Amino acid sequence: MLNDTIVAISTPLASAGIGIIRISGDEALKIISKIFVPKKSMDNRNIVSHTLHYGYIIDPKYNRTLDEVLVSYMLKPNTYTRENIIEINAHGGLIVLQSILSLVLRSGARIAEPGEFTKRAFLNGRIDLSQAEAVMDIIHSKTELALNASVNQLSGNIKNEIEKIKKNLLETIAHIEASIDYPEYDIDELSADQVKEKMEKVATKIKYLISSYDNGKIIREGIKTVIVGKPNVGKSSLLNALLKEQRAIVTDIPGTTRDSLEEYMNIHGIPLKLIDTAGIRLTEDIIEKIGVNRSKELMLNADLILFVIDSSECLTTEDDEIMELISNQKVIILMNKSDLNKKVKKEHLKEHLREMTIIETSALKFEGLDQLQEQIKNMFMIGNIQIDNETVIHNIRHKQSLEKAIESIYNVIESIDNRMPEDCYAIDLHSAYEHLGEITGDHVNDDIIKQIFSQFCLGK
C-alpha cells in the first residue's frame, strides 16, 4: 500500500487531443514491457533513463492496438516521486486514454489516490520540507473533490444495483458466520452448493456492471446539460464560449439553430454533455417546428437546464412559456448579453422562478462563465444534480473495485469446487464485500456482525 505501483491519467479529462498516463512504482517497467511495443527494439534490462520511445500500446490479451504513443522512461531516483516513472503520451482522446488506463490496471498497477504522486514525492524526500503543508492541502482538497465526484457519479440505478449485490453477499456472509460462531443453534446451514449458486448469480450481475463501463459509455454520458431559451438570446454563443471554440453557427438571425447540437466538456473533472437546442417559439417553419419540439423533449430529460434570457430585452410570453415548462427542473438562469443595457431585473425573475440561481453572463465577452462553472461544480458536489439514471459505471475506480470483487467471487467458486471448507472461502467472500464497500464507502466488519444478529436469533 505504501510502495505499490500506481497509475493515473495525469492530464485533465477533457476531450483534448493528447493525454498522459503516468505510472509510478517498482513495477512500472515490468508493466510497460507487457503492453508497449516500441518501433525500434529496445533492451528492457538496459533502459537509458529519461528517454522517449515511439511505438504502440497493444492489449496482449486480444492482440489489439490501442494507440500510437510516445513513452518516456524515467528511472529512480531522479524522478518526481523518486520511483520509476513511465509516462505514456497518447493521442486518442478520452476513450483511448481510458482503455489504456484499464489495461495498465489489468497489468498490475493500482489507480492512484488523489494527490498520491505528490504524497510519494514528499515521503521520498523529493519535495522540500517547507512544502509539507501544501502537500497535505493538495491531498485533502483533491480527495474531497474526488470523493464527492465519485459518490455522485454513482447513478441511482447503479447504486441500487450495487447495494442489492452487497445485501445479497452480506446475507450469505452473515449466514455462514452465524453458523460458524453459533454451531449449536438451529440455523439451517447453507450448503456449499447453495453458496456457489448464489455466487454465480452475483458474478453475473457484477460482470454486467463492468461491461457497462467497457462499452465506452462513459464518454456518451455526462451531466445532460440542456441550453434552452427563446431564439436569438445567445444559446449557441454560450456553447461556443464554454467550449472555447466555434462549434455552433452563430448569426443574429433568430432560429439559426434548427437541430440540437451535443458536445462534451469537463468542469473541474465533472463530465458534462452540453446540448444546444433550437430556440423555442411558435413557428410555421416545419423544420424549425421539429427542432422546437425536440428542444422541449430534451428539456424534460435534462439533468440540468441552462435557461438563457436576453437581459437587454424585456421578457416575452415565449420566456414565460419556457419558465412554465422548466419549473420542476434543476435550472441555472443566465441573464445573457450583460454587456448591453439591462432591461430585465433579477427581482422580476425571482418571482417566477424561486430559489434558482441567476448568473449574469456575456457569452460574447466571456463574462460570468467562471461563475457558471463554479455553480455547476457546486450543485454536483452537494448532489443537487446527478448524472442520469442509466445503469452504467462511469468511474474507473468503481470499475477497478468491481473487477477485484468479481475476482474474489471467482475464488469462492473455485474453493467450493475444490471442496474447501467455509472458513477458507469466507476470506474471499469478505474481500468481495470489502471491494464493493469501496464503491459505496462502507466498512465491512461492523456490517457483518450487525447483520448476524438481525438475521438470526442467537445468544445464550
Q: Which residues of this chain interact with another protein, rule CB under 8 A?
A: 1-2, 113-116, 119, 122-123, 125, 129, 132-133, 135-137, 139-140, 143-144, 147, 177, 180-186, 415, 418-424, 426-427, 430, 443, 445-446, 448-449, 452-453, 457-460
- The Cα 337–Cα 230 span in angstroms is 14
Cβ distance to another protein smaller for residue 178 or 218 = 178
Residue partners of 115: CB distance under 8 A and separation at least 6:
135, 138, 139, 140, 142, 143
Maximum distance among all alpha carbons in the chain?
A: 83
CB of 430 to another protein, least distance (A): 7
CB of 438 to another protein, least distance (A): 10
- The Cα 79–Cα 2 span in angstroms is 17
Complete edge-to-edge strand list for the sheet that includes strand 64-74: 36-38, 51-59, 64-74, 85-90, 19-24, 6-9, 110-111
Residues in the chain: 460
Cβ distance to another protein smaller for residue 115 or 368 = 115
CB of 198 to another protein, least distance (A): 18
List the one residue out of 237, 229, 227, 225 whose CA is nearest residue 313.
229
Cβ distance to another protein smaller for residue 91 or 142 = 142
CB of 235 to another protein, least distance (A): 40
Cβ distance to another protein smaller for residue 64 or 140 = 140
SS (H, E, C) 76-145: CCCCCCCCCEEEEEECCHHHHHHHHHHHHHHCCCEECCCCHHHHHHHHCCCCCHHHHHHHHHHHHHHHHH
CB of 302 to another protein, least distance (A): 33
- The Cα 308–Cα 359 span in angstroms is 10
Q: Is 306:238 a contact under the CB 8 Å cutoff?
A: yes
CB of 124 to another protein, least distance (A): 9
Cβ distance to another protein smaller for residue 150 or 361 = 150
Cβ distance to another protein smaller for residue 73 or 122 = 122
CB of 114 to another protein, least distance (A): 7
Cβ distance to another protein smaller for residue 2 or 282 = 2
Cβ distance to another protein smaller for residue 387 or 416 = 416
- The Cα 393–Cα 144 span in angstroms is 20
CB of 326 to another protein, least distance (A): 37
Q: What does the block give as the cell for 322? A: 419556457
Task: Determine the 3-state secondary structure of 32 from DSSP.
Answer: helix
- The Cα 316–Cα 282 span in angstroms is 12
